[in-house]
Each structure stands twice: as C-alpha cells, then as structure tokens.
Amino acid sequence: MICQDYLTGAHSMDIPQETMDREVQAILDKIQANPSFNPDQLFDPAKHLAWKDEYYDEIKKFTLQELGITKTHTKPINNFGATYPFPLLTEEAIDIMKWEAFQPKVVKKYARLTNPDFSLKTNRHDFHIAGYPEEGHAPFTKSVYDHPRLKEIFSKLIGMEVTTTYGYDVNHVNVALADFDLPKDAPLYEPSKDENGNTVFKAEETGSILGQHYDSTSIACVVMWECPQDKGGETVIITGDEKPLVIPNIARPGYCTLLQARVIRHIATKPNTNSNRIATVAGYYPAAPVLDNSCLTSVRPSILPRSVHDEFYTEWFDFRFHQLERVLADKRKKLWQAYKQGKTFDQKDVIEFSKECQEYLVESWREMEFATNAPYPPPLFSKPYSELSYNVEGN
C-alpha cells in the first residue's frame, strides 16, 4: 500500500486544500500587497545580493576540529565545519523565490507533507517543496543558484571549489506555518529550563522537522525565507563531545548558513511559538572530478514524500553516472599521460581506483527501496562520534 503510494506520487501526503486556501494564500497575498513587487526578473547580483566581501573575514566559521569532530562516518570533503548565519540575499530576492515556490500549481504538484514518522510535533502546516525550479517553474530561483557569484562566495568560505548538486536537492523548501486557528506567536510548548531557570536545549523535547540526522548531500546551504526571532527555529549542531551547539537565531530573511551536513549531526528545530519558519536547503559538493559522498538515506521517496519517485531517481542516477563519467575520463587521461612520460603502470593504484568506483556504484543503489527496507532513522543518526570509523585528517 505504502509502496503503491510513493510509486504513484505520494499523493496521500498532498497539502490539504484548507492549508492552501488559508496559510499558503496568506503568504502570496502579503507579497503581492507590496506595490513594487516584480516577479518577472532574473537574479542580478547588483540588486539581489546582500553579501559584502568584508564578510569573508567577519563571519564566524568553525572547522570540524573546532567543533571537536575528530571522527566521522564517511570521508569529509575537507575540514570545513560550519558558518554562523550571514546576509546573502536581499528581501526582494526572497520575496520572488517565495512567490515562485508557493504558487498553487507548484504546491499542488511539488509539495508533500512532512513524514510524521520522522519528525516531532508536525501537522498539516509542515511540508516540503522541491524539484520545481529544475522543471521550469521558478526561473528566478534557478538563476540564483546557477549564478557563478554564489558559487564563488561559497567556495571561498568552504575552502574548495563547490557546485550545486542534482536539481531535486537545490532549493528544497522546509515549511512550518503558523496555524490560523491559534493566536499568532502563541507559545506552542514551554522550552525546558535548568535549575536556575535558564532555557536549555533538549533534543528529545524540541519540535523538529527532522530529528537528529546527517544530510544526504556533502554541504548544506541553508537560506532563511521566514524566521521568528528568539522563538526557536534554530539549527542545532551536535559537537564532537555530543553537546548541542545552538546556532544563534540572528538569521533574517535572506541570511545563509553553510554546514558540512553530511558529517555533522544536526537538528532543524521548529519555532516554539505559532510562527512561520521557512528555510531552504541547497546541496553542494566538490566541483573537481572526485567521487562525492552523497547518499539516499534521508531523501529516498519512501522516507521523504517530496521526492517524487520517477523524477527523483532519474535525477539521482543522472547525477551519479555523470560523476562517474567525469572521474573515469579524468583517470583515462592520467593513465595515458603517465605512459607517455615513461612511468611504470601502477597496478595497485588502478586496483584501488576501480574498487572506489565499484563502491560508488553500489552506494548509488544500495538504499533504494527495491534493494532495502532498512529502518529509518538509521542507527547511525544516534551513534556517538567516538564510535565512528573515519579519522578526520589533521587530528
């Protein structure tokens, strides 16, 4: 039954008409009420970029080592850990992106409710939208992520050249909307306090769109569209000593946070008041011809209903096969170069390389529903870093 549902578009998780007519429509009405709003344009850095180059030195950044993470479950792309939120896009840019994402035809076709099995305290106001920019429904949004200036900024901050991953994981929208039947900003639950009355973070009590997890792409670029101030909704990093590091909620619409989310355990919390929290995530990976460390764990259709089966897997295998093609082409070139330079053919190296490619192919299909029905969340999501097997270089 479940299988039939996700094979045919996961329509049991469609957004209820009531949510479309009330909360979603209210977002569009608010944007449209701005007389200078113009959705018919493409991204122009001079107009839509809030970033300033002095931020390279000013924003707070962490390496994996500074987060105390010395062991990971897979090879990190480098030692980059995370940034605090920094201004990236203007409010005008965010309004256009929101306008494109919340069009009724987009929500109808590309949005699905959050899977209630894997999130805490979610309801009909919690959903994801993805895949629509790649299919031509969001020219502005697509032009933002395609722009070389964005890639340049992220590459400098991360310390290696990066580029966006396959379309489905570029501009994935996490939506948690305020319920119109409750007073705006009313507390949804009391935050936990310690014996001195200070607010403390407890993962098991905090509402979240996704509980403690690793992302399935190498780097997560989180761009805020709406966020309550000082009312929850933060990103929480679990550091190497298993303690929560709450990234301060200084984000405003258009602020961005970068995180090596494939190897840093983290939580996206829900606001603890009746407020909207809308955040987008774009996946990035190294631009060089190397085999990426992305996976299917949290994005496969049976886990994340917004991943519509036929489209998602076509994109996924297009991405993975293309990666392999690039890596094989690069290796072929290097083999001939070595031969022409009179070097001895390195059998050991080619065996290792072939094994890596073999493993990459296996990783590409291992988590598909046809091959596995592994429980979710996987045990890995709650395993302490100290029990992981990969030693981070530089420790």
Closest separation between CB of residue 259 and Fe ion, Å?
8
x-marked contacts with Fe ion along 334-373 as a string, rule CB under 5 A: ----------------------------------------
Q: Which stretch binds Fe ion (CB under 5 A): 6-14, 16-24, 167-175, 212-220?
A: 212-220
Closest separation between CB of residue 66 and Fe ion, Å?
20
Task: Judge whether 312 and 301 are in contact, CB under 8 Å.
Answer: yes
**How many residues interact with Fe ion (rule CB under 5 A)?**
1
Binding test (CB under 5 A) with Fe ion, winner from 14, 95, 126, 215? 215
What is the 3-state composition of the chain as percent helix, strand, coil, each rounded to the nearest 5?
A: 35, 20, 45
Q: Which of 174, 191, 186 is nearest to 274 (CA)?
A: 186
Closest separation between CB of residue 371 and Fe ion, Å?
24
**20 versus 388: smaller Cβ distance to Fe ion:** 388
Measure the CA–CA gap between 284 and 258, rounded to whole angstroms. 10
**Residue 83: other Cβ atoms inside 10 A:** 21
Q: Which stretch binds Fe ion (CB under 5 A): 61-69, 182-190, 213-221, 368-376?
A: 213-221
Verify cis geometry, omega within 30 degrees of 0, for the bond prior to 286: no
Task: Judge whether 86 and 150 are in contact, CB under 8 Å.
Answer: no
Q: Which stretch binds Fe ion (CB under 5 A): 97-105, 207-215, 249-257, 339-347?
A: 207-215
**Residue 46: other Cβ atoms inside 10 A:** 5
**215 versus 234: smaller Cβ distance to Fe ion:** 215
x-marked contacts with Fe ion along 159-198 as a string, rule CB under 5 A: ----------------------------------------
Q: Whose CB is nearest to Fe ion?
A: 215
For tokens 């901050």, the residue is 157
Element (H or E) spanning 104, and its range?
Answer: helix 104-110
Closest separation between CB of residue 394 and Fe ion, Å?
24
Closest separation between CB of residue 214 and Fe ion, Å?
7
Q: Which stretch binds Fe ion (CB under 5 A): 62-70, 153-161, 215-223, 333-341?
A: 215-223
Q: Which of 95, 96, 70, 65 is nearest to 81 (CA)?
A: 65
Closest separation between CB of residue 213 and Fe ion, Å?
6
Q: Which stretch binds Fe ion (CB under 5 A): 54-62, 85-93, 209-217, 383-391?
A: 209-217
Measure the CA–CA gap between 80 and 62, rounded to whole angstroms. 7
Measure the CA–CA gap between 217 and 263, rounded to whole angstroms. 10
Measure the CA–CA gap between 56 and 102, rounded to whole angstroms. 33
**203 versus 335: smaller Cβ distance to Fe ion:** 203
Q: Tell me, what DSSP letter sits at residue 164? A: E
Please give the residue ranges that form the binding site for Fe ion (CB under 5 A). Answer: 215
